[in-house]
């Protein structure tokens, strides 16, 4: 009887005569949870900052506004994911006034910037919250300010914003005197007459709050934690868009840490950075 190793060797030399199944198994592998630091944004392109916004569109990250520790900003800088390089984005039209704690979302081929805090922070003058809405059209690099008829949301900063069903949804924030928990929505499809709609509160609403993250999943907006008075909460709420009702989720009693995917800059201790970090979802690296 011929030795099995010799049979396999001869059959590998003649693949057409191979009549056995060979299988090579790998794993199991442990996921590697690892951040990767990308190229910094040089000062001549964009200042170090915090309290800004960052959105993704196609193969780029767009960073708008923020605070560099001395003044508010209203520049728009772009990170090309393929080229791994930063550029200052040229713009047509009048951009939003310098601001921070605003919101920015992407709808189709535009970025929408709403509200935020503006003024001269060093001189402590003209400091005010805004309720304006600006559209930045990626294809034409043009800023356009939207105009409205009828009632509008109270000017605010540190609010939440999301896009669902061709609409922009604005929730809560801080109006300069008090924290809010109201919901407003506006159609983004380009109707001739544009009006804000105040969404009546139904179900169990979150407390008045600001400085919280929002996420959209399965037809709902999820709101976690935030500042409510002098208290920082750890409650999770979700708002169902179609039924327009809110509900409290399970209270999280242990620490929750979140990763800012493709997040640029921020405060690290007393230092404002200009670093960009990258986290890949599938490989978790």
Residues near 110 by Cβ (< 8 Å), separated by ≥ 6? 135, 136, 137, 138
Nearest to 135 by CA among 165, 113, 158: 113
Mean pLDDT on 164-191: 94
Question: Is residue 6 classed as helix, strand or coil in its secondary structure?
Answer: helix
Is the model's pLDDT at 268 over the cut of 60? no
pLDDT of 193 reads 81
Q: Does pLDDT of 174 surpass 80?
A: yes
- Residue 258: the pLDDT is 29
Which of the four pLDDT bands, split at 50, 70 and 90, describes residue 269?
A: low
The pLDDT value recorded for residue 129 is 98
The better pLDDT of the pair 192, 215 is held by 215
Mean pLDDT of the chain: 83
Confidence (pTM): 0.79
Residue 182 — very low, low, confident or very high, per pLDDT cuts 50/70/90? very high
What is the number of other CB atoms lying within 10 angstroms of the CB of residue 244?
Answer: 14
Over range 37-47, report the average pLDDT.
Answer: 86
Between 198 and 14, the more confident residue is 198
Asked if the model's pLDDT at residue 110 lies above 90, the reply is yes
- Cα distance between residue 282 and residue 29, in whole Å: 13
pLDDT at 27: 59
Examine the pLDDT at 155 and tell me if it is beyond 70.
Answer: yes
Domain annotation for the chain: domains and CATH numbers: 29-278 (2.120.10.80)
Least confident of 65-79, 130-144, 196-210, 252-266: 252-266
Instruction: Say whether pLDDT at 252 is over 50.
Output: no
50 has pLDDT over 60: yes
Report the alpha-carbon distance of residue 114 to residue 168 in Å, rounded: 10
Window from 43-52, 71-80, 127-136, 247-256 with minimum mean pLDDT: 247-256
Rounded Cα–Cα distance for residues 273 and 48 (Å): 5
pLDDT band at 232 (very low <50, low <70, confident <90, very high): confident
């Amino acid at each position: 009887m011929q030795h099995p190793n010799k049979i396999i060797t001869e059959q590998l030399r003649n693949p057409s005569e191979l009549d056995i199944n060979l299988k090579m198994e790998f794993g199991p592998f442990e996921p590697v949870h690892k951040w990767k630091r990308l190229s910094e944004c040089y000062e001549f392109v964009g200042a170090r900052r915090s309290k800004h916004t960052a959105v993704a569109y196609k193969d780029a990250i767009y960073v708008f506004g923020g605070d560099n520790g001395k003044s508010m900003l209203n520049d728009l800088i772009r990170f090309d994911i393929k080229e791994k390089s930063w550029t200052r984005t040229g713009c047509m039209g009048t951009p939003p006034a310098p601001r921070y704690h605003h919101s920015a979302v992407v709808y189709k081929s535009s970025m929408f910037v709403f509200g935020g805090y503006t003024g001269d922070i060093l001189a402590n003058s003209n400091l005010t919250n805004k309720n304006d809405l600006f559209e930045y059209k990626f294809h034409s690099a043009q800023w356009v300010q939207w105009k409205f008829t009828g009632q509008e949301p109270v000017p605010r900063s540190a609010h939440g914003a999301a896009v669902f069903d061709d609409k922009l949804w604005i929730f809560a924030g801080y109006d300069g005197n008090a924290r809010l928990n109201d919901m407003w929505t506006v159609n983004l499809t380009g109707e001739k007459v544009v009006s804000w709609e105040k969404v009546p509160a139904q179900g169990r609403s979150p407390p008045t709050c600001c400085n919280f993250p929002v996420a959209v999943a399965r037809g709902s907006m999820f709101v976690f934690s935030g500042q409510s008075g002098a208290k920082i909460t750890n409650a999770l709420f979700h708002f169902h868009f179609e039924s327009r009702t809110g509900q409290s989720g399970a209270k999280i009693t242990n620490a929750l840490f979140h990763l800012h995917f493709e997040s640029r800059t921020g405060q690290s201790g007393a230092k404002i950075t200009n670093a960009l970090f990258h986290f890949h979802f599938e490989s978790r690296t």
